[in-house]
Structure 1
Amino acid sequence: MSLLSATDTIVPAAGDGQLVTAALVGIAVIVVLITVVKLHPFLSLTLGSLVVGVVADRELADVVTSFSNGVGKTVAGVGMLIALGAMFGKLLADSGGADQIVDTIVGKASPVALPWAMAGIGAIIGLPMFFEIGLVLLMPVIFLVARRSGQSLIALGIPALAGLSVMHGFVPPHPGPLAAVDALKADLGLTLGLGVLAAVPTAIVAGPLFAKVAARWVDVPTPELFGGQERRARPQRPSFALTMTTVLLPVVLMLAKTLGDVLYGDEEPALRRVLDFVGTPLVALLLAVIVAMFTLGRGAGMSRDEVMATLESSLGPIAGIVFIVGAGGGFKETLVDTGIAQVVADWVQDSGFSVLLLAWLVAVLIRLATGSATVATVTAAGIMAPLAEQLSTPEVSLLVLAIGAGSVFFSHVNDAGFWLVKEYFGLTVGQTITSWSLMETLLSVTGLAVVLLLGLAV
């Protein structure tokens, strides 16, 4: 991957050695506060930003200004998209649309194809939903399918979790990829398209293929939770075709905008202007939510009050995510304004080190330390931001994906997802590591390999 010459150079606030020390100390403070003190990531990122500024010899007032500007720009650019994504996901769950997808795919799958079908279900459910929501939704599905088919819980559960996790790390509108797209100024439609392209082989390797091996290591009975009863279904559910059309609507709109940019170049005919408008992420997701109110909400027989209640209840759980992502944007702005990120960019440019590999490694280290894929993504994106200015548009999108791949590396005891999987599946810590944690690691490494291969073509 080639580096282009930068157009703007940030004047460092101190010497290179002091700036690197400031970055390392700031990241260390964030890690300690999250993992040892158990402080909320929003507060940890805020305090870490202040520490960076102090060690880098910046005026505290300037540090606060940089952090505040970063939070404001990130929330303005990403916060509304996260809110709209949460509304869409809640409508999909409450209307029974998600159940319709699951039942249709599982009902048509043979026993041999079931693990592949579960990976597809995880990916489809994971496309519009946040990881934790998708995980809770998938668990009863995994248990019921395992009981009905008599197949191993791990053989069916790992593919579903791989499909869910790969979307969480690679594909907008999930908070991490959205934040990275915003911080690196990547093309969202192109990133989405490349993300889906990279997600498919990654999910296959870490899902159905790895599940065959993991099922030999970990053999546990299906827990009684959700296992002895069917989930309560709505009397009426939207059809499979209508549900899938609605789920894919924002994806199609954003990809259409990118396709229009490629086909028309500098020309601006009426169709190009329409595609630019409807393919703007905010508009695409807004249209998807409005359409879902009718196709999913009314299509499931929900009253207007029920639809409005679903939309309202979707926002509370994601408030913390919005502020974490916002604080990550503030931390990124602090790194940029102190000149630290530019020092890293100059080092990479002079060293000839692979930008994609470095971005992945930075995200891996932060992920291992904090346990949060979102924190790893937004922090790594901040460190790599100056490099994005020196890359072509496709290369910036691949940079986002490399960071996303690193952000899901080896989930362990400091990750809430680790404990959710352990408790739901009834595993020991060791069994969770040899199934879930290794699956996440394989997903991360495979994702990096696919991104590097894509990098050869752009």
Structure 2
Amino acid sequence: MESLIAPFQVLLSDPTYRLIAVAALSIVLLLVLVLVLRLHAFVSLLVVSLIAGLSAGMGVEELLDTVEKGMGGTLGFVATVVGLGAMFGKMLEVSGGVDRLANTLLKRFGEDRSQWAMGLTGFLVAIPVFLDVAFIILVPLIYALTRRTGRSLLHYGIPLLAGLAVTHSFIPPTPGPIAVAELVGADLGYVILFGAMAGLPAMIIAGPLFGRWIGKHIDAKIPEYMELPKETQNSENLPSFTMIVSITLLPLALIVLNTVSGVVMPEGSTLTSVLGFLGHPFVALILATVLAFYCLGIRRGMAKEKVMEVATKALEPAGIIILVTGAGGVFKQVLIDSGVGEVMGNLMADSSLPPILLAFIISTAVRVIQGSATVAMITAAGLMAPVISTLNLEGPVLGLIVISIASGATVLSHVNDSGFWLVNRYFGLTEAQTLKSWTVMETIIGLVGLAMSLLIGLFV
């Protein structure tokens, strides 16, 4: 027995191998806490961070300072952006803006091209609205189209889901890319730009094209246990299409202009300074949120108290995301301050894999094992942060790493993902049919996102 243990003792006595073991066992422990013991991801990340720090030899006071630094450093940015984005999205939902957007696109595209309308609707709606909320709001439109045409629910549902999933994973101010961008130090302008460049092809292939094919092979009908959707709101009472699109795209345009101006315009010019201020995510989202409160609420007769109630309600789901992201920041900071990050960074830096592909593989592994895309993205970002530092990566490539991590966290959604069951129930599918439709759609999105990231990486 001693002869079997001896090699491990020798390895663990080496500081480098011991720190690698700490990193590996931390991931295993995180998965056990989340999957087996069903402990909330926020608590699990904090517990794993403390154990990893102590195992790596950090002193108690140093470790607690690192926890505070990791949480505060991450939330200083993420809490503001996610909170504002949640209020903005809730206002769009309550005002009927989502209905207006979907109805107008369907009318303009026509029934024959309604797949493309649903894909574009999902792509735009998921910018300010959480994926599951947007899907539940829009699923009556899918039911209505199915009743009208007799086609499979998947013919229209897959394009909608593809649009929602792409934006939810790739384009800020949705929480996932916001959190990853902060953890790896990426410029949000590049994340938005590359997210759109990778996301649109992914939405087209995984949405209308795949939806048309899978709709012919799985004839999904409206489940009997789902109530018939209520009549849609009177179009006279909905906000205008132009207003909804303008308010939704305003913060994205300002953030991208800020990034582009910093590259093509002389530093220190008045215009650069103005765009730098207006294009900061805080300012851009504050402007959009205030406009949404006024144009979609107060101007249309909503009482100020009701607007306040909507804004407060929006922060409930956002709070959980913010705290989990903060705990992810703690995990990242412990890896860095304990020396684990430096060792892992050097190890991965010696790998022959490009950083973009390495980020995808890490994110995919965590996603498949434990299911949560958010946890997969945050864990992968925490592990990639030391690699980025070791390789001195900066600028556009960090934006591509964010998209790569998001792509890995999208693929192979299966029975341990809540999104899998949401689609399964609303479309009345069997588990096998959900794997053939939803899981394949998610995987196409992730693989196209990775391919586009690698392709764009050749030119930046």
Instruction: Confirm or deny a common fold (TM above 0.5).
Output: yes
- Say if 2:409 is the partner of 1:407: yes
Residues 262-316 of structure 1 show CA distances to partners (whole Å, capped at 9, x for unaligned) of 2214x21221111000100011101100111122223543222222221121111
The 5 Å alignment of 1:83-122 reads 83-122=83-122
**1:419 maps to what in 2?**
421
- Say if 2:373 is the partner of 1:370: no
Higher alpha-carbon deviation: 106-115 or 371-380: 106-115
- Say if 2:222 is the partner of 1:241: no
**1:4 maps to what in 2?**
none
**Cα gap change, 1:287 to 1:228, in 2 (>3 Å):** closer
- Say if 2:443 is the partner of 1:452: no
The 5 Å alignment of 1:141-156 reads 141-156=141-156
**Cα gap change, 1:220 to 1:257, in 2 (>3 Å):** same
**Cα gap change, 1:456 to 1:309, in 2 (>3 Å):** same
**2:444 maps to what in 1?**
442
Q: Is the 8 A contact 2:162 2:203 kept in 1?
A: yes
Q: Is the 8 A contact 1:246 1:295 kept in 2?
A: no
Aligned residue identity for 1:163: G
Aligned residue identity for 1:238: P
Distance 1:29 1:233 in 2: 53
Task: Return the offset for 1:358.
Answer: 0.6
**Cα gap change, 1:228 to 1:42, in 2 (>3 Å):** closer
Task: Return the offset for 1:231.
Answer: 3.6
**Cα gap change, 1:55 to 1:14, in 2 (>3 Å):** farther
Task: Return the offset for 1:67.
Answer: 2.1
Task: Return the offset for 1:14.
Answer: 7.2
Task: Return the offset for 1:247.
Answer: 0.6
Q: Is the 8 A contact 2:258 2:279 kept in 1?
A: yes
**1:168 maps to what in 2?**
168
Distance 2:289 2:109 in 1: 30
Higher alpha-carbon deviation: 311-320 or 139-148: 139-148
Task: Return the offset for 1:226.
Answer: 4.9
- TM norm structure 2: 0.93
The 5 Å alignment of 1:223-302 reads 223-224=223-224, 225-232=226-233, 236-265=237-266, 267-302=267-302
Distance 1:330 1:137 in 2: 35
Distance 1:172 1:341 in 2: 27
Aligned residue identity for 1:27: I
Aligned residue identity for 1:304: K
Residues 99-139 of structure 1 show CA distances to partners (whole Å, capped at 9, x for unaligned) of 10000001122333111111101111111112222222222
- Say if 2:369 is the partner of 1:340: no
Task: Return the offset for 1:233.
Answer: 5.3
Distance 1:22 1:44 in 2: 16
Higher alpha-carbon deviation: 169-178 or 59-68: 59-68
**2:7 maps to what in 1?**
none
Query: Partner of 2:414: helix, strand, or coil?
Result: coil
Distance 2:25 2:369 in 1: 14
Distance 1:351 1:380 in 2: 16
Residues 223-249 of structure 1 show CA distances to partners (whole Å, capped at 9, x for unaligned) of 353535324558622110011101111
**1:307 maps to what in 2?**
307
Distance 1:435 1:233 in 2: 34
Query: Partner of 1:108: helix, strand, or coil?
Result: helix
The 5 Å alignment of 1:393-404 reads 393-404=395-406
- TM norm structure 1: 0.93
Task: Return the offset for 1:77.
Answer: 1.2
Aligned residue identity for 1:364: T
Q: Is the 8 A contact 1:95 1:302 kept in 2?
A: no
Distance 1:197 1:378 in 2: 23
Distance 2:229 2:133 in 1: 22
Aligned residue identity for 2:192: L
Task: Return the offset for 1:386.
Answer: 2.3
**1:8 maps to what in 2?**
none
Higher alpha-carbon deviation: 107-116 or 419-428: 107-116
Distance 1:106 1:298 in 2: 28
**Cα gap change, 1:257 to 1:401, in 2 (>3 Å):** same
Task: Return the offset for 1:455.
Answer: 0.6
Query: Partner of 2:381: helix, strand, or coil?
Result: helix
**2:8 maps to what in 1?**
none
Distance 1:67 1:304 in 2: 39
Distance 2:382 2:347 in 1: 16
Q: Is the 8 A contact 1:131 1:164 kept in 2?
A: yes
Distance 1:336 1:363 in 2: 19
Distance 2:287 2:171 in 1: 19
**1:181 maps to what in 2?**
181
Distance 1:257 1:264 in 2: 10
Distance 2:14 2:301 in 1: 63
Larger radius of gyration: 2
How many residues were matched structurally? 445
**Cα gap change, 1:151 to 1:444, in 2 (>3 Å):** same
Q: Is the 8 A contact 1:50 1:60 kept in 2?
A: no
Distance 2:110 2:301 in 1: 32
Aligned residue identity for 2:250: L
**1:9 maps to what in 2?**
none
Distance 2:155 2:318 in 1: 31
Distance 2:176 2:157 in 1: 24
Aligned residue identity for 1:117: A
Residues 69-120 of structure 1 show CA distances to partners (whole Å, capped at 9, x for unaligned) of 1111111110111100000000000011111000000112233311111110
Distance 2:419 2:454 in 1: 27
Residues 20-64 of structure 1 show CA distances to partners (whole Å, capped at 9, x for unaligned) of 111111111111111111111001111111221233222233223
The 5 Å alignment of 1:57-136 reads 57-136=57-136
Distance 2:65 2:223 in 1: 51
**2:354 maps to what in 1?**
354
Task: Return the offset for 1:432.
Answer: 1.0
Aligned residue identity for 2:246: T
Higher alpha-carbon deviation: 198-207 or 110-119: 110-119
Task: Return the offset for 1:146.
Answer: 2.3
**Cα gap change, 1:374 to 1:288, in 2 (>3 Å):** same
**1:7 maps to what in 2?**
none
Distance 1:231 1:35 in 2: 40
Distance 2:289 2:215 in 1: 39
Q: Is the 8 A contact 1:119 1:162 kept in 2?
A: yes
